[in-house]
Each structure stands twice: as C-alpha cells, then as structure tokens.
Amino acid sequence: MNFRSFQVPYPIDDRYKKRVAYFSMEFAIHQPLKIYSGGLGFLAGSHMRSAFELRQNLVGIGILWKYGYYDQARNQDQTLQVTWHEKIYSFLEDTGIKFEITVHEHPVWVKVMYLPPNVFQSAPMFLMTTDIPENDYVSQTITHRLYDANVATKVAQFILLGVGGAKLLDEIGFHPEVYHLNEAHGLSAAFYLYNKFNRKAEEVKKRLVFTTHTPEEAGNEKHDIYLCHKMSYFCGLSVEEVKQLTGMPDDQFNHSLAALRFARIANGVSQLHGEVSRHMWAKYDNICEILSVTNAQNWRYWADKALYRFREDGNDAGFDDRKKWMKKRAFELVADQTGKVFDPNVFTIVWARRFAGYKRANLITRDLERFNKLMADSKYPVQIIWAGKPYPVDYPAISEFNELVHLSKNYKNMAVLIGYELGLSKRLKQAADCWLNNPRVPREASGTSGMTAAMNGAVNFSTNDGWIPEFVHPGNNGFIVPPIDYTRISTQEQDQYDLDQLYEVLQKQILPLYYDDYDTWRQIVKNGMRDVQLQFDSNRMAEEYYNLLYNRPFKG
C-alpha cells in the first residue's frame, strides 16, 4: 500500500465523502489492541467501527501505547496491584513513515503504524510511537503509558497527538477537510494548522470541530502556559501571541476553552450534557456553538445476536435459556477469579465501569445494615459483581476498589473482578440482570456502558444522568432513581437521597418483578433491547456527526 498518497481503502458512500481525521488519545477497537482506558476509548472504538460499516471517508489518529493504560493484577490479599507489561501487535503494519516533531525545544522522531480496516472491521487507523532507537530514553517514554501521571510527559503526549497527528496527515497526503478532536487532548493540532495556513485563525476554524466529554469546568485539562510554551506546545508562538490568539490573559492554559474558540462547532455527548456545557461555558465570549450528539455504541460488535433472534421470533423459552447460559458462562470467570460459584437463576446486579469518586461504586454498600439484609434475603436473593479500573494514581478510587474487595470476603454472593477491558465488559453485561449505574447528577456526561448492557439483555437501573433521560421510561425499559433538584441540597444529602431511593426501587419494584412476575420482567428486558438498538447504535451517531458537524457550512 502507498502510504504517501493515502485514500480510505474501500468505496465511500457519497453521503460521507468529506475527508475527516478523528483524533483521540484512546481507542477501544477490540480486546487485543490495548490502547484505551475507559469510556472515551469505548466511544471512539464504536465510532471507528460504525465509520467502517457506513463507508465513511474517515481515518482515526491515535497513539500506540507501549504499556497500554496499565494491567490490573492483585496483591496477595486480593487488593489491586497496578502493573505494566509491554504490548506486542503482529496485526499492525509498519507504514515506513518516520518524521520529526519538536518537544521541549528538542527534535523527537515519530514512527507511524497502521491498523488496516479488515483486521477488526474499523475505519483505517494510524497510530504513532516515539519508542524507537532514534530517540533518547525520555523521548521514548512519551508513548509508554496512556495518561502518564507526570505533567510534562502528559503535555508531550498532547503535542504528539495534536501536532504529530496533523503532521502525519500531511505526510500521508490525506488532507482532511475536517479535523475532529475527541476531547481537547489533541488541541495542539490547532497551532500546527495555524502556522500551516499562514497564521490565519479563520483557516483553522473552517476545519476544526470539537467534542467535549467533561460536564464540569474543574475537570477540563489546564496547564501552566509557560510549561506548555517550554514544551513547544504552541509551535513557535510566543506566550503573548498565544494569550492574544486564544483570548486567555492569565497563566493557566485551558485546553477545552481554547478548543471552543478555535473550533467552528462543538458538541456535548448527550442532550443533558449539551445543556450543561452551554451553561458552563456561557460566561466566556467568542466560543463556538455547542450542539448535542448523544454517544452510542456499535450494535454489531456488542449485541448478543442470538438473544435478539429469540426476541424477534417471540421464543420466550429460547430467550430465557440464552440469557441463563450467558450468565453461567460469565460466572465461570467469577469462579476462576474469586472461588465463588454464582447461580444463573439468581438475580444478578453488576456495577462495572471506571472507578472514580463521582461514580460512587460503593454507594449500595454505604448502609451496611441494609446491605447485609439485601445480601441475606432468601425470598429475593441477589448476587452482585463489581469490576473496573481506577486511574493508577487515583488513590481514593483505588482505596474504594480495595474496600469492596475486603467487604466481598464476607459474602459468597459478592465478587470484585480485575481485568475490566472490552472482553470482560461484554461478559459482565451478559451476566447482568440489572446494570447498576449511580453517578452523582449531573457529573456523568454520557455513561455509555448501560447501552451495551441493554444490548445483552440487562435492565438499566440508574440515577437520571447522562444518556439515561433520553432512554429510560421507568418500568417500561429500565428503572431510575426518581430525580429531584439536586442543586438545592448538599453532596451528603444527595448521596443519602440516592441511596434511600436505590433501595426503595430495588426492593419494592425490581426484585418483586423479577421473582414474582417474570413475564413482565422479560418484557422490560426486550423493550430495552429494542429501544437501545433504535436510538443508541453508533451508526446513528456517526451519521449525525457528518450531518450536524462535518457537513455543516462554515459561516465565518
């Protein structure tokens, strides 16, 4: 293949002929390619799969992380151990392309690897690495660990994704008409393009679109502007020029705010998140319009097709048998890791996603008296599984994970698993009767794990945040903690209210339905499967990006 005048190697649908480059720090394409940490990657991976299915003229631009995010292991007492192992991928092609970028006023060589579409049925993807002999050791470490804890290394990673990605596109001759930043990590591309187009900001604005995933200002990346300058983030511009260009007079460089000023259009990742984002950024001038494109997941990759066939055929016996078989298969993983044998006939709750404080992994356990009663109930027995990866230096989240591990030693029907990646994620969604999701409203921008759970016959039970208000009709296709005006109460009161309601809905509605009226329960499962396929397959999302962002005329 000629990588110097690259074209997407399959026929392009005319509706999607505009050339687009999609920049993301992480992509969860398939289990063997470990270059992702969580939801942002799961979203980007589904987007790449849908771009392939729809025959869109789109390429993915990412980084080949030598050690991935990290590998979850256990200490002797079963608690979390963070380990890193080198990853080797025989399915990636060496493009033969190497080029230089500047990091910390120093030349760094970048090597480009290629993931062909036919390997995992994704859009073509180019992955950059600095872990090559031409670089000194410090430069090699730029692509060692996804979201490195060292601030200078992280800024270098941002430069690689943005500047390196934009230069890579010039190297392969793809010449995108749209540069799509999935989060602000790749924003340094804007400074590269600013120089490329003779320092005309309008030329950058014409081409740049931005997706924000963070529903609170404090969560957006900010770095010292002098550090960024010293790291060569601004492609030769002085600090004063950057302040004038971005309209940020202080010494903190806000990547998301800069992206909202450079981009011609941006989007939040759910209807609610779009509203929260517009409100959050309203106090700043000169930002672009913020639309909503609700996240989605790739149905073809995630859904259990046999379960859908039984549903379509009206074969309830086959449907029930398939779900029980999926639970049984997943429970073998539980037994292997924890020595606990779960029963496929027992109602199974799963909480599995990234561990972060606002997601409140341990919420259901915070009232131990009620939790003990729930776990010992012989009339309505339950089994609960937790899994997920905390950020490797988020010590409060790691403590929360470890507390659950220690608590699980008291119950034969509670398990905490390690290794939460694409493979285990799919198995746990198949294991779940109830997919539990209880972030603090409105902290969850989207929260896509419940979509793929519904695609595998799990019923969503969630606080009313992220994508949930667009999906759940309580008692019809899922259940919610009844929403109240959380702005009027403290965080502690919010946690207590949500905990009380969680038990109320679980014990008064969900468990009696499952055990006393299974026909109705099954119908709720089927309704969720139908609704998630109609609204939250990522083919809909990938089409909306073209219709609402990429093809939107630039008004200047």
pLDDT above 90: percentage of residues in the chain: 98
Together in a domain, 282 and 313:
no
Together in a domain, 263 and 375:
no
CATH number for 116: 3.40.50.2000
Residue pLDDT, tens place only, 45-67: 999 999 999 999 999 999 999 99
Is residue 46 in a domain? yes
Is residue 15 in a domain? no
Together in a domain, 346 and 491:
yes
| pLDDT given at position 328 | 98
3-state secondary structure of 387: strand
- CA dist., res. 457 & res. 478, Å (int): 11
**What residues does 350 pair with on adjacent strands?**
385, 435
Phi, psi for residue 346 in degrees, rounded to 5: -100, 140
The number of folded domains in the chain is 2
Interacting residues of 451 by C-beta distance below 8 A, sequence separation 6+: 295, 296, 297, 302, 467, 471, 532, 536
Quote the distance between the C-alpha of residue 506 and its chain's center: 27
Q: Which residues of 448-478 are buried (b: 16+ CB within 10 A; e: fewer)?
A: bbbbbbbbbbbbbbbbbbbbbeebbeeeebb
| pLDDT given at position 416 | 98
pLDDT > 90? residue 219: no
Is residue 523 in a domain? yes
Together in a domain, 257 and 325:
no
Together in a domain, 293 and 263:
yes
Give the orientation angle of helix 239-246 with respect to helix 255-262, to 10 degrees: 60
- CA dist., res. 467 & res. 215, Å (int): 13
Is residue 12 in a domain? no
- CA dist., res. 456 & res. 471, Å (int): 16
Is residue 39 in a domain? yes
Segment 500-525 shows an average pLDDT of 98
- The answer to whether 273 touches 215, Cβ cutoff 8 Å, is yes
Residue pLDDT, tens place only, 466-501: 999 999 999 999 999 999 999 999 999 999 999 999
Residue pLDDT, tens place only, 316-353: 999 999 999 999 999 999 999 999 999 999 999 999 99
Predicted confidence band of residue 216 (pLDDT cuts 50, 70, 90): confident
Residue 267 CB burial class (10 angstroms; 0-12, 13-18, ≥19)? buried
Together in a domain, 258 and 325:
no
Residue pLDDT, tens place only, 306-319: 999 999 999 999 99
Task: Please state whether beta strands 382-387 and 414-417 pair in parallel, antiparallel, or not at all (unpaired).
Answer: parallel
| pLDDT given at position 92 | 98
What range defines the domain where residue 501 resides?
A: 299-536
Together in a domain, 321 and 174:
no
Together in a domain, 377 and 520:
yes
Interacting residues of 253 by C-beta distance below 8 A, sequence separation 6+: 222, 223, 224, 225, 228, 233, 242, 246
Together in a domain, 349 and 463:
yes
Interacting residues of 512 by C-beta distance below 8 A, sequence separation 6+: 380
Predicted confidence band of residue 505 (pLDDT cuts 50, 70, 90): very high
Tokens for 526, please give them: 């089927």
Is residue 225 in a domain? yes
Interacting residues of 353 by C-beta distance below 8 A, sequence separation 6+: 38, 39, 359, 388, 420, 437, 447, 449
Predicted confidence band of residue 1 (pLDDT cuts 50, 70, 90): confident
pLDDT > 80? residue 218: no
| pLDDT given at position 296 | 98
Q: Considering only CA atoms, which of 350, 338, 336 is closest in space to residue 78?
A: 338
| pLDDT given at position 347 | 99
Quote the distance between the C-alpha of residue 400 and its chain's center: 21
Task: Please state whether beta strands 222-224 and 252-254 pair in parallel, antiparallel, or not at all (unpaired).
Answer: antiparallel
| pLDDT given at position 217 | 76
3-state secondary structure of 209: strand
DSSP conformation class of 486: G
Task: Please state whether beta strands 265-268 and 289-292 pair in parallel, antiparallel, or not at all (unpaired).
Answer: parallel
Together in a domain, 219 and 308:
no
Interacting residues of 389 by C-beta distance below 8 A, sequence separation 6+: 37, 38, 69, 70, 72, 354, 355, 420
pLDDT > 80? residue 2: yes
- The answer to whether 536 touches 452, Cβ cutoff 8 Å, is no
Together in a domain, 410 and 499:
yes
pLDDT > 80? residue 556: no
Interacting residues of 406 by C-beta distance below 8 A, sequence separation 6+: 79
Is residue 273 in a domain? yes
Is residue 3 in a domain? no
Together in a domain, 128 and 211:
yes
pLDDT above 70: percentage of residues in the chain: 100
What's the mean pLDDT when you consider all of the chain?
97
pLDDT > 90? residue 555: no
